[in-house]
Amino acid sequence: MIISLGILAISIFAGFFGALLGLGGGVMLVPALTLLFGIDIRYAIGASIVSVIATSSGAAAAYLRDGFTNIRLAIFLEVATTLGALVGVVLSSYLKSDVLFVLFSLLLLHSAYKMWRSDEPGAEDQIKRSPSRWAAKLGLNSQYPDRASASEVPYLVHEIPIGFLIMFGAGILSALLGIGSGVLKVMALDSVMKLPIKVSAATSNFMIGVTAATSAGAFFWRGDIIPQVAAPVAIGVLIGAHWGAKLMPRISGQILRRTFVFVLVLIGVQMALRGVGLE
């Protein structure tokens, strides 16, 4: 009973930050379930997949209603992610995941440094850049509500082909490393495609549930999603995601960005340790 309630409490926390930053809760949940509660890694990963879907579903309704999610962009990039996941499944028998963990961690730490150094472009700066031909053709440019000015802030989507390629890579990594690729998605949307951080978090939230669902079926039918562990995780994450999605429109993009950089460093270190076998 106490363990169940402990898992519930940690999951509320994971869901809250997962929804706020557009990440799955797995980053926090897997270490918590294995280190604090001693749960077998397979069931911890199974529960973390559920947490990603719960975070995504819990927050997506609110972000859609509030107009933060760019559905067209999410679906367009999800094509790349699903293609990548299929390639990743094929590659998984040829590649060593240890090396990939180290490379991935270096990429995360480098991106954290770059994001820390550069501030979010203001609305005027954002639309001053020359518009992408692809974004215009596909109708990806959009707008999001800004509470402070009580108006819609327009934004352009940049670097569509590079963003598509990164999402393809994110799909491969998800399949190879068994990770939710929310962190890579937010990073690509923010740093490469130059979306406002709130739109990046909401759009990533929409996408991570779909990406996680592609592998969740296999986990579920294989018996790796144990209801006793996954149920308190799902309940906690749904509660946390609800509150995270409520808070996101109220906080400044800069705070959100800095929090994301902090989490990026944590995940980078965690991945590096995993890569060198010190998990």
From the CB of 27, what's the least distance to another protein, in Å?
A: 19
Give strand pairing partners of 142.
Answer: 155
From the CB of 238, what's the least distance to another protein, in Å?
A: 5
CB-count exposure of residue 185 (10 Å: 0-12, 13-18, 19+): buried
CB-count exposure of residue 277 (10 Å: 0-12, 13-18, 19+): exposed
Shorter beta-carbon distance to another protein: residue 55 or 111: 55
The answer to whether the beta carbons of residues 199 and 144 sit under 8 Å apart is: yes
Binding residue for another protein (CB under 8 A) from 48, 56, 174, 203? 56
Q: Could you tell me the two tokens for 126?
A: 């954002």
Shorter beta-carbon distance to another protein: residue 41 or 95: 41
Binding residue for another protein (CB under 8 A) from 118, 151, 252, 254? 151
Under rule CB under 8 A, residue 127 binds another protein:
yes
SS3 label, residue 78: helix
Per-residue interface string for the shown chain with another protein, residues 212-251, x marking contact by CB under 8 A:
xxxxxxx-xxxx-xxxxxxxx-xx--x-------------
Site for another protein in 25-54 (CB under 8 A): 37-40, 42-43, 50, 53-54
From the CB of 8, what's the least distance to another protein, in Å?
A: 9
Q: Where does the chain show beta strands of DSSP type E?
A: 142-146, 151-155
From the CB of 158, what's the least distance to another protein, in Å?
A: 10
The alpha carbons of the chain give a radius of gyration, in whole angstroms, of 18
Shorter beta-carbon distance to another protein: residue 94 or 221: 221
Q: In Å, what is the CA distance from 1 to each residue of 35, 42, 48?
A: 18, 21, 20
- CA 179 to the chain's CA centroid: 10
Stretch of residues binding another protein (CB under 8 A), selected from 11-19, 180-188, 206-214, 265-273: 206-214
The answer to whether the beta carbons of residues 178 and 155 sit under 8 Å apart is: no
Per-residue interface string for the shown chain with another protein, residues 66-85, x marking contact by CB under 8 A:
-x-x-xx--xx-xx--x--x
Stretch of residues binding another protein (CB under 8 A), selected from 99-107, 110-118, 138-146, 247-255: 138-146
Whole-angstrom distance, CA of residue 198 vs CA of residue 256 = 8
Size of the site for another protein (CB under 8 A): 74
Under rule CB under 8 A, residue 122 binds another protein:
no
How many C-beta atoms lie closer than 10 Å to residue 247's C-beta?
12
**192: which DSSP letter?**
I
From the CB of 42, what's the least distance to another protein, in Å?
A: 7
Binding residue for another protein (CB under 8 A) from 14, 23, 60, 189? 60
